[in-house]
């Protein structure tokens, strides 16, 4: 049987996970295009929110949602789905819901068992989806969500002010609703930059001053504390304070921890001769990294410069892999708001159908790999390619048009034509 290709995007072939249906006149359409056109008719959002409302907060539902947005990173998606589920199960009482999802009921006998808080640490190279996963989880749960950079946390000795500013931002993101704030998610990025001085790995790239002090300052916040924030900042006469309890706020820390794979390697090879010997010469660097990062343990993080008390408050450590070529290619078109879809949407407003050929996508991926910034590299490559097209798009002729980006265009060796479609 020949493999059916979607007549709408002209790209997607039928696979087990990508169904295609054939309509009258032998027109094929893939699931992704159905979803896209539903959104164009204003149906997608409704379907989405209904889907969300019906969703129960179970790991499978979270993972299925993440699958629509995040490519690969299977272990991370699964671990986080379970960790988030456990966290909110702990937070919620019977019959309650977070955002638009409700937790499944607890058996009566277990109701009084106290669960400890499970903050999360994600470790992985730059641009592989750490922040994106956290963002999507918050989106799914419909809870307030902020991202703070650990490097901005003062180490001048007074972490208190920063603690207040983190909680204040979350409170603002929750439309100043205290109850919502207390169930939000705070992502603290670049946590490897607050590694202790003298830690191993890449800590020499980090800040020298007081990384340890910042970690100390965060301990109470991430466990449980009451933070007072000033309700009307800027109003001199007002000193109304709002008190926020942080015990149910979920903290997700992210960091690239450059060089940590070497610490893992050292530990593994000193512990077992087998592992060191297993290190094959012809393994690619990425494959080697992916094999090692799976073995990450708290020992390695302590060696890197995180203090034990800090790690002790992170119940779940999730390693993320570096992305393969195939994954990068999928990231280009597959997620709901992929880069290609974003441009397709933009050009749609100028009545232009945008298409990328398969080999153009290969060129983009190759180029992005050279930038060594994971999926982040894709954006800059594609932006460069699209610049000329976006520049002329508004003043093309009236009518339904098509623009095909092929390998030559992607390499910058040719200009993309915007052609009028016949009969349009």
Ligand X SMILES: Nc1ncnc2c1ncn2[C@@H]1O[C@H](COP(=O)(O)OP(=O)(O)OP(=O)(O)O)[C@@H](O)[C@H]1O
Which residues of the chain form contacts with ligand X (CB under 6 A)? 70-73, 124, 126-132, 189, 254, 256, 331, 335, 374-376
Tokens of 366: 């190759």
Distance CA(248)–CA(185), nearest Å, equals 9
**What minimum distance in Å lies between the beta carbon of 123 and ligand X?**
10
**DSSP per-residue string spanning 243-254:** EEE-TTPEEEEE
Among Mg ion, ligand X, none, partner that 335 touches (CB below 5 to 8 angstroms by kind) = ligand X
**What minimum distance in Å lies between the beta carbon of 266 and ligand X?**
23
Among Mg ion, ligand X, none, partner that 71 touches (CB below 5 to 8 angstroms by kind) = ligand X
**What minimum distance in Å lies between the beta carbon of 338 and ligand X?**
8
**What minimum distance in Å lies between the beta carbon of 314 and Mg ion?**
17
151 or 350, CB closer to ligand X? 151
Among Mg ion, ligand X, none, partner that 180 touches (CB below 5 to 8 angstroms by kind) = none
Residue 13 gets which letter from DSSP?
B
Among Mg ion, ligand X, none, partner that 126 touches (CB below 5 to 8 angstroms by kind) = ligand X
What SS3 state is found at 119? strand
Q: Assign residue 190 a region: left if phi > 0, alpha if psi is -120 to 50, beta otherwise?
A: left
Among Mg ion, ligand X, none, partner that 403 touches (CB below 5 to 8 angstroms by kind) = none
What beta strand segments (E) does 150-255 contain? Answer: 185-189, 226-230, 241-245, 250-255
Output phi, psi for 401, to 5 deg. Answer: -125, 165
Measured CA distances, 410 to 172, 286, 332 (Å): 42, 25, 13
> Do 311 and 343 meet the contact criterion of CB atoms below 8 Å apart?
no
**What minimum distance in Å lies between the beta carbon of 189 and Mg ion?**
5
The distance from CA 313 to its chain's CA centroid, rounded to whole angstroms, is 22
146 or 403, CB closer to ligand X? 146
What SS3 state is found at 32? helix
Among ligand X, Mg ion, none, partner that 331 touches (CB below 5 to 8 angstroms by kind) = ligand X
**What minimum distance in Å lies between the beta carbon of 331 and ligand X?**
4
186 or 418, CB closer to ligand X? 186
**What minimum distance in Å lies between the beta carbon of 135 and ligand X?**
7
Residues at the contact surface with Mg ion, assessed by CB under 5 A: 130-131, 189
331 or 360, CB closer to Mg ion? 331
Residue 364 gets which letter from DSSP?
H
Burial status of residue 198 (CB atoms within 10 A of its CB: 0-12, 13-18, 19 or more)? exposed
What SS3 state is found at 146? strand
Distance CA(301)–CA(264), nearest Å, equals 9
Closest residue to bound Mg ion by CB: 131
């Amino acid at each position: 049987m020949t493999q059916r290709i979607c007549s709408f995007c002209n790209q997607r072939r039928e696979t087990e996970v990508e169904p295609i249906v054939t309509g009258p006149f032998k027109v094929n359409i893939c699931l992704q295009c159905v979803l896209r056109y539903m959104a164009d008719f204003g149906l997608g959002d409704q379907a989405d929110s209904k889907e969300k409302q019906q969703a129960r907060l179970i790991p499978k539902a979270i993972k299925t949602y993440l699958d629509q947005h995040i490519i690969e990173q299977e272990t991370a998606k699964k671990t986080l789905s379970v960790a988030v589920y456990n966290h909110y199960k702990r937070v919620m009482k019977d019959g309650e819901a977070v955002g638009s999802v409700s937790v499944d009921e607890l058996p009566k006998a277990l109701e009084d068992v106290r669960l400890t808080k499970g903050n999360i640490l994600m470790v992985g190279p730059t641009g592989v989806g750490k922040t994106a996963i956290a963002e999507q989880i918050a989106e799914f749960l419909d809870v307030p969500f902020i991202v703070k950079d650990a490097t901005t946390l003062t180490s001048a000795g007074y972490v208190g002010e920063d603690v207040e500013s983190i909680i204040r931002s979350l409170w603002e993101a929750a439309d100043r609703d205290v109850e919502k704030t207390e169930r939000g998610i705070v992502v603290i990025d670049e946590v490897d930059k607050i590694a202790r001085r003298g830690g191993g790995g890449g800590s020499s790239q980090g800040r020298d001053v007081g990384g340890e002090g910042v970690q100390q300052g965060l301990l109470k916040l991430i466990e449980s504390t009451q933070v007072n924030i000033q309700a009307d900042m800027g109003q001199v006469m007002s000193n109304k304070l709002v008190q926020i309890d942080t015990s149910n706020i979920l903290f997700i820390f992210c960091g690239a921890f450059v060089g940590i794979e070497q610490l893992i390697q050292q530990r593994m090879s000193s512990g077992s001769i087998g592992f060191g010997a297993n290190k094959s010469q012809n393994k690619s660097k990425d494959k080697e990294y992916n094999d090692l990062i799976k073995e990450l343990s708290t020992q390695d993080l302590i060696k890197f410069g995180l203090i034990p008390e800090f790690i002790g408050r992170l119940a779940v450590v999730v390693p993320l892999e570096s992305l393969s070529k195939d994954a990068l290619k999928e990231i280009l078109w597959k997620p709901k708001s992929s880069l290609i879809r974003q441009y397709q949407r933009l050009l749609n407003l100028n009545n232009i159908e945008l298409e990328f050929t398969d080999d153009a996508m290969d060129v983009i991926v190759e180029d992005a790999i050279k930038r060594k910034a994971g999926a982040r590299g894709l954006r800059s490559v594609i932006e460069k390619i699209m610049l000329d097209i976006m520049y002329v798009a508004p003043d093309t002729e009236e009518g339904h048009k098509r623009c095909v980006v092929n390998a030559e265009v992607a390499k910058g060796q040719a200009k993309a034509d915007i052609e009028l479609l016949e009969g349009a």
